[in-house]
Amino acid sequence: MIKLVVTDVDGTLLDNDTRLPELNRQALLECKKRNIGVILATGKTFHAVKHHIDSLELELPQIVMHGAAVIDKESNLIYTVKIDPLLYLEVIGAIKKRNYKPLAAKLDGYIYYDCYDEKFSIFERIDEKLFKTGCLEDSSIAKNCSSIAVIINESDPLDGFLRKKFASRLQVVRSGEYFFDVLNLDATKGNALHYLCEKLKIKRDEIAVFGDSPNDLSMFDYAGLKIAVKNSYPEILQKADIITDENYNCGLAKAIYKYILD
């Protein structure tokens, strides 16, 4: 019996215009009525998903920033994983040396840049606000960074360079065509979910997970029931127990009504 539904946000819960379809909203509210918990697990900051948390009337802790942080219902941090400050400075330096413009997400839930790039507008489309800072190498950021981002696609040479250079020391995740993040090796959605299920005393086979991107793989490895939307990356589709309709066709709601609430 499923006691907890955990879903990725962009590309899974939301449609292609980053709106929450009413059918998906109603399905998750129905889960709550039947005492099935609901947790969002997103690469976004908690500020960017706060309105969805409110709309869904969620009271359980929520997983944000690729699993680098978990917040309670008052948006207080109850679990965090940071990048080591020296590694942070090394990554920022490596990116800048190759004339790319990085961003740094702090555990306060804000994303900072020190040199603007027009590509950063992609964040506006997913409700993320960016803040200008004097220097990303400042110690206040280096000591409290959850992730480093750069706007590149898979074919960009920087993708392969960063993966090769930092593979043994840091984790690289892709959560969309241009969303590329570097995090602590322990900062995964799966680890954050494990932490929460220990606290909530929920077993792995009582969890249903929805996802679409590589940063959801750690949750698929942990959960009992793995459900992918049709628009998922191939590696997600391969690991799924169930493949439901696309995110823009309310695949999440359809699977909930058919496999969890029925």
- List pLDDT tens digits, range 168-221: 999 998 877 888 999 999 999 999 999 999 999 999 999 999 999 999 999 999
- CATH number for 199: 3.40.50.1000
Return the residue matching tokens 């961003």.
103
Residues 28 and 63 in one domain: yes
Residues 140 and 160 in one domain: yes
The whole-number pLDDT of residue 2 equals 96
- CATH number for 169: 3.30.1240.10
**Within 10 A of 258 (CB to CB), how many other CB atoms are there?**
11
Question: For residues 92 and 29, what is the distance between their CA atoms, to the nearest angstrom?
Answer: 42
How many structural domains does the chain have?
Answer: 2
What is the span of the domain harbouring residue 122? 85-183
Q: Are strands 171-174 and 37-40 parallel, antiparallel or unpaired?
A: unpaired
**Could you tell me the CA-to-CA distances from 224 to 70, 92, 118, 202 in Å, in that order?**
21, 38, 41, 11
Q: What angle do CA 249, 232, 234 make, to 5 degrees?
A: 145
Q: What is the mean pLDDT of the chain?
A: 95
Q: Are strands 69-71 and 130-132 parallel, antiparallel or unpaired?
A: unpaired
What torsion, rounded to 10 degrees, do the Cα atoms 193, 194, 198, 203 define? 90
Residues 90 and 176 in one domain: yes
Each residue of 6-34: pLDDT tens digit? 999 999 999 999 999 999 999 999 999 99
Tokens at 174, concatenated? 């892709």
Give the pTM: 0.92
Each residue of 156-182: pLDDT tens digit? 999 999 999 998 999 998 877 888 999
Residues 132 and 12 in one domain: no
Residues 100 and 138 in one domain: yes
End-to-end CA distance of the chain: 11
